[in-house]
Structure 1
Amino acid sequence: MLSIFPTYINFKSIITSSIENFHTTGELFVAGKRNTIKLFKVDETLTLNIKSFRKPILINRIIYKYFRKSKARRSYEYATVLLENGIGTPKPIAFKENSNGIGLKDSYYVCEHIFCDLTYRELVETDYPDGENILRQFVHFTYKMHKNGIEFRDHSPGNTLISNNNDGTYAFYLVDLNRMNFHEVMSFEARMKNLSKITPKKEMIEIMSNEYAKISGENETDVFKTMWQFTEDFQYRFHRKKRLKKKLKFWKK
């Protein structure tokens, strides 16, 4: 099944061809352990960003066909919800699901490629120019998402693209969208926890807490303590998991 966003229906043939020939054509953009992303240039104004999701194991093939939406379909639908709420994300173009009698074989998500200047990861790992200004604007971006009841479960450094508008402002775009929850209202704890994966640096949390308190009207001390506690908890679990993986690799040798 191929579903195309109405705005892009005139590109059906090139979208179809790009997906069908995904493994032999296109420019490799991301070669991940689980998923692969390739770029397909349409013209000077449009480049397709196509994500091929890893083929699911047998039980998930059945689940994704009969009981739960595929990652490609969720990415497409969640992108639409984000844009409807004024939250930046690459424009959704299409998704494709290939199935057989057993279940889902593979799936693809197509969106407009964003040629960004950096990701949030650069703010964490480098002394990026104008970093504090970008960080404070990012907090406004996230707060708007929270006010709309949107919980981006993969709110991590590599999943926010940032473009410089060259006027002192920046545009933010969420990617890797297949894990989201939607709420009528997000609790204070849920909002603070949603920022726990974004940086391990205390000085960045201090800036984010200061800006979040300003725009939310919440107590800055409470914002910082809660955000930092969730960050420490996440970092502890993250590094514990890494240590366990190293031990497993050692014992397998």
Structure 2
Amino acid sequence: MSAPLVDRLELPAGGERFAGRHEVVAGTLLLEGERLPVVVKKVPVDWRQRLAGRTKARRSFETARALLERGIDTPEPLAAETVGGEGWFVARLLPEARQVREWFRHRYEPGFPEPGLPIPFGDVVGGLGRLARRMHDSGVFFRDLTDGNVLVTEEAGRPRLWLVDLNRARVGTRPVGFWNRLRDLSRPGVNALADRRLLVAAYLGPGRPVGPTLVLVTLLRARIRGWDELKRVLRPWRR
């Protein structure tokens, strides 16, 4: 039987921390004689998780394994345990990965720095569309396909996209239904119509008419942006 997770983890004081609603830190995991660079996400265990009998950390671990079985990239899941009143999910660190939001913010926000990897915006958006299609066809409804939950690495000058923050995803045995596909496609921050057309075209594949799907995704995207703005007004402390 392996030692408790806290005895196998090294989390240096002042180590790298990642932006997000919950504490996400870099560390080192001792596993079968190896020292692996990892990311640890710590989520408080509330009454709903206790009632369900499964923490968000455990759900993330199981979802990550299901994604990998379907050929969908996500950082390798290594452990999930309850530590004190928190669920800790441990995954392999992708050292050079950047959030897809860097490309979107550079595109739409004047003065925002260039992304940390030299990959064209169109290649990233096209890759995101194709990733979403594979995900949906394999039965994965992500539910939170936002800019902070997609990482980008570079391989031979091309983007490779990875899904993270998996606890809200739902994995089924059948392809995802039409409406839920639209819900996922409307989540990424692709705010210009021409760029959204590129996303939808990559999702649908060559030769497929883009117009009807693009209209629906655009309407849903406008609804999401309006709701986000309302939340910023009503809950300024959560900015």
Could you tell me the TM-score, scaled by structure 2's length?
A: 0.82
Between structure 1 and structure 2, the one with the greater Rg is: 1
1:29 maps to which of 13, 17, 26: 17
Aligned to 1:196: 186
Alpha-carbon shift at residue 31 of structure 1 (Å): 5.7
Alpha-carbon shift at residue 203 of structure 1 (Å): 2.7
Q: Which amino acid aligns with 2:167?
A: N
Matches within 5 A, 1:135-174: 135-166=125-156, 168-174=157-163
Which deviates more, 197-206 or 155-164? 197-206
Q: Which amino acid aligns with 2:61?
A: Y
In the alignment, is residue 208 of structure 1 matched against residue 203 of structure 2? no
Aligned to 1:106: 86
In the alignment, is residue 221 of structure 1 matched against residue 211 of structure 2? yes
CA distance in 2, matches of 1:192, 1:218: 16
Number of aligned positions between the proteins: 223
In the alignment, is residue 91 of structure 1 matched against residue 76 of structure 2? yes
Deviations 1:64-122 (A, max 9, x none): 234241111001000000000000000000011146xxxxx221011101123422101
Secondary structure of the residue aligned to 2:96 is coil
**2:5–2:81 Cα contact (<8 Å) kept:** no
Secondary structure of the residue aligned to 2:102 is helix
Which runs of 5 or more structure 1 residues have no equivalent in the other structure?
1-8, 100-104
RMSD across aligned C-alpha pairs, in angstroms? 2.7
In the alignment, is residue 123 of structure 1 matched against residue 110 of structure 2? no
CA distance in 1, matches of 2:42, 2:75: 16
Q: Which amino acid aligns with 1:209?
A: V
Alpha-carbon shift at residue 25 of structure 1 (Å): 4.1
CA distance in 2, matches of 1:163, 1:244: 36
CA distance in 2, matches of 1:89, 1:26: 26
Q: Which amino acid aligns with 1:136?
A: G
Q: Provide runs of 4+ in structure 1 moved above 3 Å.
A: 12-16, 41-45
Q: 1:31 to 1:194 in 2, by over 3 A?
A: closer
Matches within 5 A, 1:47-58: 47-53=37-43, 55-56=44-45
Which runs of 5 or more structure 2 residues have no equivalent in the other structure?
108-114
Aligned to 2:60: 75
CA distance in 1, matches of 2:217, 2:81: 38
Alpha-carbon shift at residue 14 of structure 1 (Å): 8.8
